[in-house]
Amino acid sequence: MIRQAAHLGLNAMNNTLFHNLWQVLAVVLLLAAGSSTGLSWANESGTDFETEREQLAVLQPMIGNWKGVGLQKLGGRDRWGATTAWAWDFTDGKPAIVFSLTPGRSFASGRIVTGDSPGTFALTITDAAERSSATFTGRQDADGQLELTNPQAANGELGRLLIKNVADNKRLVIIAQQRSAGERYLQTAVLGYTREGTVFATRQRPEHECVVTGGEGNQRVTYGGEEYWVCCKGCLSMFQTNPEKVIAAHKARLEKRRKREQAASSSD
């Protein structure tokens, strides 16, 4: 009797242990499934997606398709037609702004992410053949000009890039400079663009706000019977991958803005 009772007790203990193990395993599998479907709103580096997106959002006026001309140097005769396209990219859950230049004389493409220090940016550029790349770092000045330098550049190599929106964000200017002796830089090219479809009128807020970034939406999307807008292919892909998360973040931004505007009006 004692041996039988002990045997029954051991079986009950084993059943309880296996039951608990299955519960733990089920939780692990659910967490893994959530991670694989992008339910986590933190990126692979562990930093917060929304924090990085907000820092990059100051460059939102650069998003879009642009066309214009390139000049080898100010006052020079070497001119060429030029186009550039800028878009958001969310590969691996890390927000970035990517762009291409046609033709890519100084470089052909770039990818901008947040820098190591608050308020800074890191730009990796690639040549047309994608054989070489270089990284530039820097920040925006008080006038909104993005100044990025490559401290590793040798004399005669591309060492500094100045990028700025002008004319109420309807125009974009990129200045490429090569490193000279000491800390001097010599201008090698000026690229001046006008946003495609530009109408030179001003308004304080986008007519259709991008649900992902808050920029100027130009493509309509729907989810759950509701209509939203996106501003580029990167944002469209992000919306299609995880619409519920995107919409929730969008509504949170709108509520944050409403409270900020309400507080500002109350203080007037």
- Give the gyration radius of the chain's Cα atoms: 26
Nearest Cα neighbor of 175 from 148, 140, 144 is: 148
What letter represents residue 164's amino acid? Answer: K
CA distance 155 to 133: 17
How many C-beta neighbours within 10 Å does residue 226 have? 10
Q: Does residue 234 surpass a pLDDT of 80?
A: yes
Q: Does residue 35 surpass a pLDDT of 80?
A: no
How is residue 46 written in tokens?
């562990």
User: 185 with 177: CB under 8 angstroms?
Assistant: yes
What letter represents residue 89's amino acid? Answer: D
User: 110 with 94: CB under 8 angstroms?
Assistant: no
- Residue 93 main-chain phi, psi, to 5 deg: 75, 10
CA distance 204 to 202: 7
pLDDT at 96: 97
pLDDT-based confidence at residue 74 (cuts at 50, 70, 90): low
Beta partners for residue 134, in sequence order: 125
Q: Is the pTM of this model over 0.85?
A: no
pLDDT-based confidence at residue 200 (cuts at 50, 70, 90): low
Q: Does residue 216 surpass a pLDDT of 60?
A: yes
CA distance 72 to 186: 11
Buried b / exposed e over 82-104, threshold 16 CB at 10 Å, is bebbbbbbbeebbbbbbbbbeeb
How is residue 81 written in tokens?
């037609």
pLDDT-based confidence at residue 92 (cuts at 50, 70, 90): confident
> Average pLDDT in the 116-145 region?
91
